[in-house]
């Protein structure tokens, strides 16, 4: 899938920078959307399928009271092609799969992705 492993020494700086920028990107999402965001620092497990886990970055409180998922991503200018197709912004398939998995674990109907290009 093109996913970087945590022990990939060549990419440790990019992974660390992504972690450090997570709160900033979440704040940008809040300021641009006006939607309340909050964190719950725990690993979630599906109630029927214990092998299904979710480490959700943030949750979003929608105006109707529903709770959605917010996943924070960062990328560099060399990887922006993964986020664009035919002139339209997309979510790369490997992140879409992560979002759908988290939706299943959390019984959520919506997931937002906020990506900082830099």
Token code pair at residue 7: 């022990």
**Coil/strand/helix, residue 66:** coil
Considering the domain boundaries, does residue 1 fall inside one? no
C-alpha 112/C-alpha 118 separation (Å) is: 19
- Domain assignment of residue 41, yes or no: yes
Measured CA to CA, the distance from residue 81 to residue 90 in angstroms comes to: 10
76-112 tens-digit pLDDT: 888 888 999 999 999 999 999 999 999 999 999 999 9
Asked if residue 4 belongs to a domain, the reply is: no
Instruction: Please list the residues that pair with 70 across neighbouring strands.
Output: 58, 112
| Residue at 3 is within a domain | no
Q: How many domains does the chain have?
A: 1
Which of residues 19 and 118 earns the better pLDDT score?
19
Residue 67 domain boundaries: 9-117
**CATH at 91:** 3.90.320.10
pLDDT number for residue 1: 54
Q: What is the pLDDT of residue 81?
A: 86
Q: Could you tell me if residue 86 is inside a domain?
A: yes
The model's pTM: 0.86
Is 106 a domain residue? yes
């Amino acid at each position: 899938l093109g996913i970087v492993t945590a022990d990939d020494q060549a990419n440790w700086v990019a992974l660390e920078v992504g972690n450090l920028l997570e709160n900033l990107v979440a704040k940008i999402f809040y300021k641009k959307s006006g939607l309340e965001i909050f964190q719950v620092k725990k690993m979630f497990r599906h109630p029927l399928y214990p092998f299904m886990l979710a480490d959700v970055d943030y949750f979003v409180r929608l105006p109707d009271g529903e709770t959605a998922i917010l996943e924070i991503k960062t990328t560099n200018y060399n990887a922006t092609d993964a986020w664009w197709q035919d002139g339209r912004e997309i979510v790369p398939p490997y992140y879409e799969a992560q979002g759908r998995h988290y939706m299943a674990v959390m019984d959520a109907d919506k997931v937002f992705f906020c990506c900082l290009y830099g």
